[in-house]
Structure 1
Amino acid sequence: MAQRHLDPTDPLAGPAPTGDTLAGYLRAQATEFLRALRLHRETGSGANGSEGSVEAARALRRSARRISAGLHTFQPLLDTDWCEGMRPELAWVSGTLAMEHAYTARLERLLSALHRLSGSDRAAGTHADAAAGARGDLAAGARADAAAGSRADVAAGSRAAGAAPVPTRAAPRDAGLRTPPPPAQERSNLTVGAAKAGALLDRQLTLARTRAHSTALQALGSSRFHAIADKVAVLASEVPLNSSAATTDLRPLATAAKDRLADAVTALPLVTAGHPYNAAALIHGLSPDTVPHPQDAPWHQVRLLLRLHRYAREAVSGPKGNAVVDLRLLSAGQALNRHRDASEAAAAAAQAARTPRIAPATAYALGVLHADQRHEVEAARFAFQQAWQKEEEAAEAVSTR
């Protein structure tokens, strides 16, 4: 009969860690939080923030997430009222500071995808010119000029296709059906549409990023955040453990976090995700409903549970960070991060496509971009399925040794 042996690389093996280990871990994360806060104040915070302040904000998010995860996983060993009051506040800090970075990364992802889909280096220059022109039009308030430019583009496209110059209102739709444009013209239309789509996304996401930056600055200067910082400062010296923490093993609670992750993964459609292409992912893609994609929520939940599992392993290993990095979990987490990024980018493309009175070429380019990002979502699910399959195979190998 197969006998189970503990994996020497597993932090859940070895001497039993107790509440003292958890206290050391939480104190270390609280110290990191305070250090990052001091760095953020020293580097300053201008309109866009310096590189040092951006890195300090990331460090604040990392430590806040780890403290919150530790309070969630090991709450039975801590003061219940203190945990219930602290966890939502830490989630607010982490979420508020993450929005600016999320909008910046989303814009870079979408513009890179547009350049790739347009298929030429010329598209990048065309997009840059269109984006600059769009921002200038927005500052000048020349909405009527933009509409006139769209009509001029239609007339220019008709002349490029060999049609006689006619007034833009007289351009018949039937003529387009009878005489399809050549492939070069299709490429040109896609390039122009991608440039205008990029300009639209640049306006929308840059505005959202600026607002997120202002919100983060207001949050860091608020009395609410100062109250959180005071509690974290107390946590750096005194952890509110209960009377049973000194003799309680941390490993069962960490194992429970791992089991919750396994149950959530079991509920995922991994058989479907095992195929590189899943056309069902596009069924609800262009729905007028603006709620998140119905297929994405379980995957986002698995991503959060995987993070809790990773942080529980860190806490069990102690404050010195002696936990062995599990490359399988790391690969699975990276795949889920790509899934989150592609899903939110697809939602941003769909939201931009709902902008009133945009040109057909712009709407077409945004539709292609949306489909591309939904395919990226499927690719990320496939990558997670492959990484998780290796994780299960490794677990079976350990259990049968």
Structure 2
Amino acid sequence: MKIPMLDLGEQYQSMKEEVMSVLDEVMSSSRFILGDNVKKLETDVAEYSSAGYGIGVGNGSDAIHIALQAAGVGEGDEVITTAFTFFATGGSIVRTGATPVFVDIDPVTFNIDPAKIESAITEKTKAVIPVHLYGQMADMGAIKAIAEKYDLIIVEDAAQAIGAKQNGKNVGELGAAATYSFFPTKNLGAYGDGGMIVTNDEELAEKAKVIRVHGSKPKYYHHVLGYNSRLDELQAAILNVKFPYLDAWSQARRQKAKYYTDKLAEHLQGVIQTPIQKDGNYHVFHQYTLRVPNRDELQEYLKNQGIATMIYYPCPLHMQPVFKDLGYTEGDLPESEKAAREAISLPMYPELKQEDQDYIIEKIIKFYKQPVGASTLESDIQFI
């Protein structure tokens, strides 16, 4: 068998006619930049996020950068965030002129540990970026309490968590702004790059709109140094087709995650750690990520069985060569470093077939129940 991490082809075939129809409409209109499709998507995603404003931008990285700049983060400021995330989180902070301050994670959720934030605050701290990793929100109640105590700006990095909830609250209504990525692999993915900022702050929204068009308002009059970062009209049209399916896709991901967890826990309880959804959270499972012993050996074994896996992320940000001048050393953030050695993500997408999951689960159990290479009949480990 050959099982990919993600199969976008099947999803495309299910909506091919709709996609081709809207692309033809855009091409026929000759309106390719910030047209009606972008406006519709901004309105719909903002409403979905319980936010008053949506600002479409070129990608998820720019969304973080522009949100921070629009919120007033800049030279001389510090921004606290997690070390266990994609590079864009830390890189976007540096692009504003601010300095990232990395703190450790909750080993259960892989998200930033609120208990580590307060001790990292200095007189230069301006903002905090919680990353809702793998589709589960960080502990926003605790983070918001700290932010209010120290007058800090919260920008939620929700690149992997569109549709996630916490205690009935949506991503986008618990901070100054939240940012999304529409990279093709995301739960709501375009057929190229794209991103969005959502916010309830009218002033921040207006500044973000100006920044995304070279800082101009009106056109050709530039009051701030901005960027060319606009969500493409063609991509917005595709996302408008996909958006009505998002909740059903999230539910399908949750069902497949439960299936993985039930079967793996039945046979490997105490050997591996399956994802844990914290009370009050609605996890949308952008990734289904395990903690396992012998992670690299397991990945190689599964590869040889035709099963794709991914390691998100093998090197935490505080250990990245580009950030060496920040002065972190190995051992400073032990939970992030441990996660980087143990985390592995299995195939996860709405169209993933149960027989494929059965095959994946069977091979993982075989790996841990018996040393690789030993002679045991396949029938000895059948369980479904």
TM-score by length of 1: 0.22
Structure of larger gyration radius: 1
Q: Which structure exhibits the higher relative contact order, with contacts defined as CA atoms closer than 8 Å and separated by 6 or more residues? A: 1
Task: Decide which structure has greater helix share.
Answer: 1
TM-score by length of 2: 0.23
